[in-house]
Every structure is written in structure tokens, then in C-alpha cells.
Amino acid sequence: MAVLPVIIAPDPRLKVRCQAVERIDAEVRRAAAIQVRYLDRQGKVRELAAEGLLATCIQHEMDHLDGVLFVDHISALKRNIILRKLTKMKRAADEAAD
């Protein structure tokens, strides 16, 4: 048996969601709808069909369980731009604190 939770039926249609990291947005593609298998609080296997915001939230949280971060979904170029912006913001915050 697969480790749970697991998405067992992602909708091939994709929705693009913007995720923010310190006021920085980039597009992350997510399935528009999913079927997910998981364990409830009593350890019983359950399935849930989700679409829209709920599907997006479940995929986002499952990414965290798998060690996947927001920046792992974007290109290296966009990642470098975001890192430069974050470095600049940190520098400005440090200078304001002095």
C-alpha cells in the first residue's frame, strides 16, 4: 500500500495559482480537481474528491509533506530573481534596524 496521503486521480486540466513569499508572487500550476486517499484520525483509509481552492490547498500541503517548497515549482531564472529581491529586502530591513 502507498504511503498516505496520496493523490490518486488528478484532473488533467490545470489551474494557475499565485503564491506569495514575502510579497513576491509567481505562478504555480495545480490540478483543477483531485481525488485524494488519506488516513482519518482513527487510522481508517478515506477518499475525498476536491476541486477549486480545496484542491489547491491539499496539493500545497502535500508538497510540504514531500519536502517541496514554493520555489521548487518555478524556473531557476525566476528563483534567482526572487532570491535577489529577498536579499535586497533583508538588507533594507537590517539597515532600518540599525
Q: Tens place of pLDDT for every residue, the chain, 98 residues?
A: 567 899 998 888 887 777 666 677 778 888 999 999 999 999 999 999 999 999 989 998 999 999 998 878 888 998 898 889 889 989 999 999 88
CA distance 70 to 79: 10
Q: Cell 496520496, residue?
A: 6
CA distance 82 to 73: 13
Clarify whether 61 is annotated catalytic: yes
**Can you give the pLDDT at residue 81?**
87
Q: Cell 481508517, residue?
A: 44
Contacts of 46 (CB under 8 A, 6+ apart): 37, 38, 39, 40
Per DSSP, 42 falls in state T
Neighbour-count burial for 62-95, b at 16+ CB within 10 Å, e otherwise: bbeeeeeebeebbeeeeeeebeeeeeeeeeeeee
**Can you give the pLDDT at residue 94?**
92
Annotated catalytic residue: which of 27, 47, 51, 61?
61
**Can you give the pLDDT at residue 95?**
92
Q: Are 11 and 34 in contact (CB under 8 A)?
A: yes
**Can you give the pLDDT at residue 91?**
93
Domains of the chain, first to last: 6-73 (3.90.45.10)
